[in-house]
A and B are shown apart, each in its own frame.
Chain A
Amino acid sequence: MIINGVNIDKTFAEAFPMKATRAIITAQNEKWAMIAAQAMTGFATSVIACGCEAGIERVLSPEETPDGRAGVSILIFAMGGKGLAKQLETRAGQCVLTSPTSALFAGISGGKAIPLGKNLRFFGDGFQISKKIGNKRYWRVPVMDGEFLTEATTGMIDAVGGGNFLVLAESQPQALAACEAAIEEMRKIPNVIMPFPGGVVRSGSKVGSKYPALGASTNDAFCPTLKGITNTDLSPEIESVMEIVIDGLTKEDIDKAMRAGIQAVCNLGSGNGVKRISAGNYGGKLGPFHFHLQEIMA
Chain B
Amino acid sequence: MSNLTFTLKGQTDQRIDLSPLVCQKLQNLNPEEIAGIQLQHGNRKVRVDELFNISGSDSQNIVFANSNSKLDYIGKELEGGNITIHGDAGAYLALSMKSGTITVTGNTGIFTACEMKNGFLQIEGNAGDFLGGALPGNKQGMKGGAVLVKGNVGARAGDHMRRGQILIEGSAGDYCGSRMLAGTIAVMGNTGRYLGYAMRRGTLLLWNQPQISATFNDCGTHTLAFLPILFASFKSLNSRFADKNLAFQRVRRFGGDMAETGRGEILVKL
Q: A126-B263, A127-B263 are in contact. Are A133 and B225 (CB under 8 A)?
A: no
The answer on a CB contact under 8 Å between A67 and B225 is yes
Per-residue A-contact encoding for B253-270, CB less than 8 Å = 1, 0 else:
000000000010100000
Contact A147 B224 (CB under 8 A): yes
Report the Cα distance A126→B263, complex, angstroms: 8
B163 within 8 A of A: yes
Question: Residue A140 contacts which of B144, B163, B226, B228 (CB distance < 8 angstroms)?
Answer: B226
CB distance from B226 to the nearest CB of A (A): 5
| Max count, chain B CB within 10 A of own CB: residue among A132, A138, A146 | A132
Asked if residues A131 and B263 are in contact (CB atoms below 8 Å), the reply is no
A107-135 vs B, CB cutoff 8 Å, 1 = contact: the mask equals: 00000000000000000001101111110
Could you say which residues of chain B place their CB within 8 Å of the CB of A133? Answer: 226, 229-230, 233
B182 shortest CB reach to chain A, Å: 7
Q: How many A-B residue pairs have CB under 8 A?
A: 43
A38-72 CB contact bits vs B (8 Å, 1 = yes)?
A: 00000000000000000000000000001110000
B45 close to chain A: CB less than 8 A:
no
Chain B residues within 8 Å of chain A by Cβ, number: 18
- Among B226, B230, B263, B265, the most chain A Cβ lie within 10 Å of the Cβ of B226
- What residues of B have a CB within 8 angstroms of the CB of A149 in the complex? 225-226, 229
Question: Contact at A103–B225, with CB atoms within 8 Å?
Answer: yes
Cβ of A67 and Cβ of B229 under 8 Å apart? Answer: yes
Q: Are B229 and A146 closer than 8 Å at their CB atoms? A: no
State the CA gap A138–B184 with chains docked (Å): 13
Residues of B within 8 A of A127 (CB): 263
- A132, A138, A146: the one contacting B222 at CB < 8 Å is A146
Tell me the minimal C-beta distance from A135 to chain B in angstroms: 10
Closest partner residue, chain B, to A131 (CB atom): B226
Which of B184, B225, B229 is most buried by chain A, counting CB atoms within 10 A of its CB?
B225
Chain B residues lying within 8 Å of A66, measured Cβ to Cβ, are: 229, 232
Contact with A along B207-241 (1 / 0, CB 8 A): 00000000000000011111011101100000000
Q: B residues bordering A, Cβ < 8 Å?
A: 144, 163, 182, 184, 201, 203, 222-226, 228-230, 232-233, 263, 265
Q: Chain A interface (Cβ within 8 Å of chain B)?
A: 66-68, 103, 126-127, 129-134, 138, 140, 146-147, 149
Given A67-B226, A131-B203, A147-B226, 5 more pairs with CB closer than 8 A: A103-B225, A131-B184, A132-B163, A140-B226, A149-B226
